[in-house]
A and B are shown apart, each in its own frame.
Chain A
Amino acid sequence: MTPPAGSLLSAEQLRKAYGPTLALDGAEFSIHPGEVVAVMGPSGSGKSTLLHCLAGIVTPDSGTITYNGHELSAMSDAQRSALRRSEFGFVFQFGQLVPELTCVENVALPLRLNGTPRKAAERTALSWMERLEVGDLRKKRPGEVSGGQGQRVAVARSLVTSPRVLFADEPTGALDSLNGERVMELLTEAARSTNAAVVLVTHEARVAAYSDREIVVRDGKSRDMERAV
């Protein structure tokens, strides 16, 4: 099977079982550069598993994932982790910031891991923090900032390497609606300005309303609402 023309990241016929649980059962996906696609569906339907497979974190039992013309399964583990570090960004429900580091050090971390010198890394980190309106928190540690602020720091960190694909799994799940909306506004604005594709897992319609289109996952099967019409 060939991926849809022009897609940056796509998946065909993904299957993944955890013991007796079929988390994915023929799921399909595709996303273009600059596109925000919401992955919706009830809890336990396989949304996170799909995201983990697309990001090369989890290996599906069968099916193909193609990123930028390359099949993920044909890559070595080292190539896949290099891809994750340099081309993918991640935001999860709970920011998962390193508590011992300051906010700016947290945001700079992905660049440091890619070998960028400290000063340059922190300069880029700070510019992203400013875009997300948390520049003044640079010296604070994650324990000293609010949930909404911490999540903006996490979004800044996910964008600091200018990823081509941003994976966001319930990024506003732990925030109140005002903070959640601001995070979504800033996240989608930032992604659009860099032409990054965003895979946005959410079960909330208000969050999905920031996407360009949605797919629905149910019992490990996906439904592309645009193509279904």
Chain B
Amino acid sequence: MSIGHTLLGLLESGPRHGYDLKRAFDEKFGHDRPLHYGQVYSTMSRLLKNGLVVVDGVETGGGPERKRYAITDDGITDVQRWLGTPEKPEPYLQSTLYTKVVLALLTRRDATEVLDTQRSEHLRSMRILTDRKRKGDLADQLICDHALFHLEADLRWLELTAARLDKLREAVAR
């Protein structure tokens, strides 16, 4: 999952301090793996360097955790590009996909679009596997089937999520 894009997305609703970003991240996406402060600071300094955020204010007391960050137009474009680009279909995608959907809802973008774009990318992979299976021997067929079932599982999750977007939108707004 891209921590940088996720933190950027969280900044879209308004400037935040580093510790506030970490708290929001852990609450929405951290679940079993909260961010380390170190990860937040290294990510934010990279985003600063790349012009995707600016320092909006510094609290007295110093230290990087006192900086307040604001997203730039380039930052917003970067989030948009990330959400609009499908993930390469591979196992263990769910946390990235989940993050994208929630961020799209949080930033009032079209989450259906994220899901549709990803479905299309998955289907592209499934077509290639199906074609290989058609031409292959039994061993090819079994190997392709294994990959196909994994992709299918992702897709079922996508469909179910699409059907629950309204509920998820409410939950995310809370």
Contacts and interface: CB of A to CB of B under 8 A. Distances in A.
A225 B159 contact: no
A216 B148 contact: no
A72 to B, nearest CB: 29
Interface stretch (A14-22, A57-65, A101-109, A205-213): A205-213
A42 interface: yes
A223 interface: yes
Given A42-B162, A42-B163, A185-B134, A209 B148 contact: yes
B129 interface: yes
A225 B120 contact: yes
Contacts of A223: 116
A214 B122 CA distance: 12
A1 interface: no
Interface residues of A, number: 17
A216 B155 CA distance: 14
30 contacts: A42-B162, A42-B163, A185-B134, A205-B119, A205-B126, A205-B152, A205-B155, A205-B156, A206-B130, A206-B148, A206-B152, A208-B126, A209-B126, A209-B127, A209-B129, A209-B130, A210-B127, A210-B130, A211-B127, A214-B120, A214-B123, A216-B116, A218-B112, A223-B116, A225-B116, A225-B119, A225-B120, A228-B116, A228-B117, A228-B120
- Counting from the closest, the 7 A-B pairs by CB-CB distance are A209-B126, A209-B130, A225-B120, A205-B155, A209-B127, A205-B152, A206-B152
Interface of B: 112, 116-117, 119-120, 122-123, 126-127, 129-130, 134, 148, 151-152, 155-156, 159, 162-163
Given A205-B123, A205-B156, A228-B120, 4 more contacts: A205-B152, A209-B130, A209-B148, A225-B116
